[in-house]
Amino acid sequence: MLKLNYDEIIEKIVTEKGVTKEEVEKKIVEKIANLSDLISKEGAAHIIANQYGIKLFENFAPRDYKISEIAKGVNGINVAGKILTDFEVREFNTPKRQGKLGFCSIGDESGVIRLVIWDEKIIDNLKVNAKKDSILKINDAYSRDNNGYLEIHLGSRGKAVLNPEGLVIGEVKQVSAEVGYSKKNIIELKADDRAEIYGTIVQVYEPRYYDACEKCGKKVLEQEGVQSCKDHGTVVAKKSPVFNFFFDDASANIRVVCFAQLAEEVLGKSGNELSVLKPEEVELYTKKLLGKQMVIQGRVNKNINFDRLEFVANSVKGADPVEVLESLK
């Protein structure tokens, strides 16, 4: 269950840790005071739960990944790709175990990854039916690091569906999935790390906007009042937001920077919609994001002007409540 409310979080801490409700609430009040009242009660409760070592994310149901988003050591991966190689089966016979393994590479618009299958029924099915260019959707796989290259492994808990109806994979990007985003605590982050962090929004800043091409999202050039895109000529520009917030995972907090579509995803409104609101309406609206829990993948950037680390988001999960509910099904 991802979206625990304030009372549910407290109840979870009390039952799992055998502390009193008063103790927990006192800590939450202190946390709110520490963060100068910038955090919601719920957000503070999430942080305190983390401090008690209670993982509110523990029961993450399998969720959908693009290949490039997969990090090592992740469970519950749902991913789809085009089969790029012949499906190969190898038998093994060791004193401990005997059986067979199935292999192939799959690719999507973001990259290519090797797939290792341990389940005999799935192997037998794919051996007969998998063709090059078939689309394969696998559910509940896990990732492994094999000499710096990522693999996804599908065991008996997993599922594989060939050519699921309605699923289309675009042009495959021929980039091998190398060890991608590793899960980290914020306190461990160093410049240039690619990491996945889990936490809570504890402070928000007013979004800023730039004029972007409606077709490709690039910043438009303006000459004599006419806006144009290098690739698309004269265009109608849209307001593309840049949204910054502080993100706390109990180990530390960091400023997260989200651009354009990602910013809109987190904000739940487009730049065009937000930029016409009054400042106080924007403030009220963005304050509602305080306490929101998310999983963010991105890169750590050293901002030299301010001598601080920032986390530039490449993907966010849990930003859209509908998406979260879907991924829990």
Q: Least separation, in Å, of the C-beta of 229 and Zn ion?
A: 3
Backbone torsion region of residue 229, taken as left when φ is above 0, otherwise alpha when ψ lies between -120 and 50, otherwise beta: beta
Q: Least separation, in Å, of the C-beta of 219 and Zn ion?
A: 9
d(CA 67, CA 79) in angstroms, rounded, equals 7
d(CA 53, CA 324) in angstroms, rounded, equals 23
The residue type at 128: V
* Cβ distance to Zn ion smaller for residue 229 or 256: 229
Q: What is the DSSP string of 115-153?
A: EEE--HHHHHHHHHH--TT-EEEEEEEEEEEETTEEEEE
Q: Least separation, in Å, of the C-beta of 227 and Zn ion?
A: 10
* Cβ distance to Zn ion smaller for residue 100 or 239: 239
Question: Is residue 39 helix, strand or coil?
Answer: coil
Strand ordering across the sheet containing 226-229: 221-223, 226-229, 233-234
Query: Does residue 51 contact residue 28 with C-beta atoms inside 8 Å?
Result: no
Q: Least separation, in Å, of the C-beta of 86 and Zn ion?
A: 40
Q: Least separation, in Å, of the C-beta of 203 and Zn ion?
A: 33
* Cβ distance to Zn ion smaller for residue 217 or 321: 217
Q: Least separation, in Å, of the C-beta of 230 and Zn ion?
A: 7
* Cβ distance to Zn ion smaller for residue 45 or 260: 260
State the helix-helix crossing angle for 6-17 and 21-34, rounded to 10 degrees: 120
* Cβ distance to Zn ion smaller for residue 259 or 285: 259
The whole-angstrom distance between residue 173's C-alpha and the CA centroid of its chain comes to: 20
Q: Which residues of the shown chain bind Zn ion in the complex (CB under 5 A)?
A: 213, 215-216, 229, 231-232
Q: Least separation, in Å, of the C-beta of 261 and Zn ion?
A: 14
d(CA 179, CA 176) in angstroms, rounded, equals 9
Query: Does residue 309 contact residue 300 with C-beta atoms inside 8 Å?
Result: yes
Q: Cα torsion at 218, 288, 294, 167 (round to 10°)?
A: -60
* Cβ distance to Zn ion smaller for residue 18 or 233: 233
Q: Least separation, in Å, of the C-beta of 238 and Zn ion?
A: 11
d(CA 317, CA 218) in angstroms, rounded, equals 24
* Cβ distance to Zn ion smaller for residue 191 or 216: 216
* Cβ distance to Zn ion smaller for residue 213 or 256: 213
